[in-house]
Structure formats: C-alpha cells, structure tokens
Amino acid sequence: MSQHALAYVLAAVTLVVGGQTTLKIGMDRVGPIGLERLRDPLRLLSDTVAVTQVWVGLLLYVASSVLWLLALATVPLSVAYPFLGLSYVFIAGVSVIALGEWLTPAQWLGILLVVFGVVAVALG
C-alpha cells in the first residue's frame, strides 16, 4: 500500500467516525422513528432535514466516500476495509480523552486486538 493510499484510507476512517457521531447526535434530536412516523414520510423528512447535525454528518460521509474511492483505486478491498475497525479505536479514544469515560479491561483488550488486526492486514 502506497503512502498516498494509506493517507486516503486513514482520512476516510476518521471522517466516517466524525460523520457517524454527528449523525447520531442529529438523529437523537429527530427522535425515535416508529411506524406512525413512517406513515407520514414527508413530515419525517422535514423533521430530519431541519436538524443541522444531520446535514453536517451527511457532508462528512460524502467527504469520506470520496477519499474512500480514491483509496479503492489502488488498494484491494480485503486490505482497505479492515482499516474501518480503527473507527472503534478512535471512538474509544474520544470517549476517554474528551468525555472522561471509563473503559473496561475487556475494552482495552478489544482495542489491542483491533490495532493488532489492522497491522496484520496492512503487513500481511
């Protein structure tokens, strides 16, 4: 994998985390989507597009998709895709550093396994 491709992959993963988190915040504001809300899709749509975080999240998703396509131009899928596992490491990092949350020993072990796995895929 070239340095360029590696940079694309890592940037795409970072943006996916940003998009995912922002969208989660946005969809929490939209509220639960049950059957009754699905019966009025226009109303649901207008409720959804009214939330800024949904737009920002989608924008981050689009940006990550562009970078992802640039990566897939040179990197086989079986090599690129496992890198998405790093998103969990990033989210855990944000939780610990920014939110002061507490990880269990099993979660630390999980992070080690993900990092080990990504290294194995990258070098293998």
Binding positions for other proteins, rule: CB under 8 A = 23-24, 27-28, 30-33, 61, 65-66, 68-70, 72-74, 76-82, 84-85, 88-89, 92, 100-102, 104-107, 109-121, 123-124
Inter-residue long-range contacts of 59-62, CB under 8 Å, 24+ positions, other chains counted: 59/19, 60/15, 60/16, 60/18, 60/19, 60/22, 61/15, 61/16, 61/19, 61/23
Question: Minimal distance in Å, beta carbon 4 to other proteins?
Answer: 9
Question: Minimal distance in Å, beta carbon 120 to other proteins?
Answer: 3
Gap between the Cα atoms of 28 and 46, Å rounded:
15
Residue type at position 113: L
Of residues 55 and 81, the one with the C-beta less far from other proteins: 81
Of residues 98 and 123, the one with the C-beta less far from other proteins: 123
Gap between the Cα atoms of 79 and 74, Å rounded:
10
Of residues 56 and 111, the one with the C-beta less far from other proteins: 111
Question: Minimal distance in Å, beta carbon 71 to other proteins?
Answer: 9
Instruction: Name the DSSP class of 34.
Output: -
Question: Minimal distance in Å, beta carbon 73 to other proteins?
Answer: 4
